[in-house]
């Protein structure tokens, strides 16, 4: 093994180990949401149908116009975000109306819920805003407030019918743990981008690490014959144009507004996958994918391992409902795309083996004749 190979392997190993060991630090870093979240606690007392206090509020400021994600959390002691769906308004003795008002006291968002953990997207202009929490245990007070400030009279009447105010008469206290955060669209993309970049870096370094220490063995230089090199050049050219055409199609979809059906990484990663698949399929079919001195068995086993991991992750994402969120395809579908990528490679290998087998049989028959 020459000196340059040893140095290269040491560098790759050190970089891979450094990134791998530093990965847990990502979970220590506070996300923009964690930094901007306001937290406080309040005790609400109900006595003969009267609530004290009847409302709570917190101020926040918006510096830039655009879409903002609002995170509301109003959780009683003894509950957490995972069990909050089990909480009924009658369990805490009253219901709550949430409103967001601007500096002119105009309502820009409202929601009537019980104890909740809510996430919603609202377009906000720069300025000062207030989150208001109003508590009701009396149907007349609730109807007057809703019909005056938030919904129509008919809607307010229907809401009163749907709510069993007779259950809101028990005296007692409820301690609420509040959390609120207003995050603009750009801030919301910061941490996911960091995580994706970090994961990509780790993946690339892992790929280099595997290539150096597993695939190539003691001989770090793959050997291709002249015909293979020519075919690889053709494959690169075709794969490049496939990727180029796909990227142009993505740009057209983006301009036309049709790209909103999925996260942007899905479109661009699809372009990369199509280019790679074109290259791999062409090279496999023309027997120029594997080097002359390369052991194909362990490469295929490794490909199968990667495909299986991505398939498992993809299935988990489907079960957790993370592939499509709010009618939009998320980047988590890329694990399934990666699985499809390797399935296509395996299918091409199998077809090539069958084709070579038929070709050999035909040649033997011709020789016999």
Q: Cβ contacts of residue 38 below 8 Å, gap of 6+?
A: 58, 60, 178, 179, 180, 181
Q: What is the mean pLDDT of residues 90-105?
A: 83
Question: What is the distance between the terminal CA atoms of the chain, rounded to a whole angstrom?
Answer: 51
Q: Pairing mode, if any, of strands 116-124 and 127-136?
A: unpaired
pLDDT, residue 196, reads 65
Strands (E), 105-186: 107-113, 116-124, 127-136, 172-184
pLDDT at residue 161 greater than cutoff 70: yes
- CA torsion angle for 155, 157, 162, 168 (degrees, to 10)? 120
From 183, 205, 173, select the one nearest 15 (Cα to Cα): 205
pLDDT at 242: 92
pLDDT given at position 361: 76
pLDDT tens, position by position, 46-86: 888 788 898 888 898 888 888 888 888 888 887 776 666 66
| Angle (nearest 5°) at CA 336 between 330 and 338 | 110
Residues 6 or more apart whose CB falls under 8 angstroms from that of 299 comprise: 215, 290
Cα angle 60, 65, 69; round to 5: 60
Residues 6+ apart with CB under 8 A from 107: 99, 100, 101, 149, 150
Cα distances (Å, whole numbers) of residue 168 to 17, 86, 94: 59, 17, 5
pLDDT-derived band at 235 (thresholds 50, 70, 90) equals very high
Q: Say if CB 283 and CB 231 are below 8 A apart.
A: yes
Is a pLDDT exceeding 70 seen at residue 129?
A: yes
| Listed range (123-127, 171-175, 204-208, 259-263) with the worst mean pLDDT | 204-208
For residue 26, name the pLDDT band (cuts at 50, 70, 90): low
The closest alpha carbon to 114, from 150, 147, 142, belongs to 142
CA 208, CA 15: separation in Å to the nearest integer?
10
When mean pLDDT is compared across 26-40, 56-70, 200-214, 306-320, the lowest value belongs to: 200-214
Q: Domains in the chain and their CATH numbers? A: 33-186 (2.60.120.380), 222-368 (no CATH)
Q: How confident is the model at residue 278 (pLDDT cuts 50, 70, 90)?
A: very high
Q: What is the mean pLDDT of residues 311-322?
A: 84
Cβ(116)–Cβ(85) below 8 Å: no
The more confident residue out of 59 and 154 is 59
pLDDT of residue 238: 93
The dihedral sign for the CA sequence 82, 86, 90, 92: negative
User: Do residues 229 and 39 lie in contact, with contact meaning Cβ atoms separated by under 8 Å?
Assistant: no
Q: Minimum mean pLDDT among 49-58, 166-175, 187-196: which range?
A: 187-196
Q: Flag whether pLDDT at 216 surpasses 60.
A: no
Strand partners, 132: 57, 99
pLDDT on residue 236: 92
Tokens 């993946």 belong to 203
Q: Given pLDDT bands bounded at 50, 70 and 90, which one contains residue 193?
A: low
Q: What is the pTM of this model?
A: 0.51
pLDDT at 215 over 60: no
Average pLDDT over residues 289-297: 78
């Amino acid at each position: 093994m020459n000196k340059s190979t040893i140095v290269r392997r040491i560098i790759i190993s050190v970089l891979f180990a450094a990134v791998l060991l530093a990965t847990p630090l990502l979970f220590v870093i506070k996300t923009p949401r964690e930094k901007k979240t306001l937290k406080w606690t309040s005790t609400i007392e109900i006595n003969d149908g009267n609530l004290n206090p009847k409302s709570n509020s917190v101020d926040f400021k918006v510096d830039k116009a655009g879409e903002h994600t609002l995170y509301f959390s109003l959780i009683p002691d003894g509950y957490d975000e995972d069990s909050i769906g089990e909480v009924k308004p009658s369990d805490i003795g009253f219901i709550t109306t949430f409103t967001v008002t601007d500096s002119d006291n105009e309502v820009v968002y409202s929601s009537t819920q019980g104890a909740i953990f809510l996430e919603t997207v609202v377009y906000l202009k720069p300025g000062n805003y207030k989150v208001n929490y109003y508590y009701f245990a009396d149907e007349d007070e609730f109807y007057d407030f809703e019909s005056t400030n938030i919904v129509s009279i008919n809607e307010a009447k229907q809401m009163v019918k749907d709510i069993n105010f007779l259950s809101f008469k028990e005296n007692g206290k409820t301690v609420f743990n509040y959390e609120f955060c207003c995050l603009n669209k750009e801030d919301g993309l910061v941490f996911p981008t960091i995580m994706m970049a970090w994961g990509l870096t780790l993946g690339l370094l892992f790929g280099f690490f595997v290539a150096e220490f597993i695939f190539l063995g003691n001989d770090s230089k793959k050997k291709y014959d002249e015909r293979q090199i020519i075919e690889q050049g053709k494959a690169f050219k075709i794969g490049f144009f496939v990727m180029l055409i796909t990227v142009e199609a993505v740009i057209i979809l983006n301009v036309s507004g049709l790209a909103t059906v999925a996260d942007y990484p899905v479109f661009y990663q699809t372009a990369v996958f199509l280019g790679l698949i074109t290259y791999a399929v062409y090279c496999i079919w023309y027997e120029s994918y594997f080097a002359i001195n390369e052991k194909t068995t362990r490469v295929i086993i490794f490909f199968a391992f990667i495909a299986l991991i991505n398939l498992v992750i993809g299935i988990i994402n489907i079960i957790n409902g993370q592939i499509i969120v709010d009618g939009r395809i998320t980047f988590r579908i890329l694990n399934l795309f990666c699985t499809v990528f390797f399935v296509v490679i395996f299918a091409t290998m199998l077809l090539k083996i069958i084709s070579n087998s038929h070709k050999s049989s035909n040649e033997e028959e011709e020789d016999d004749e």
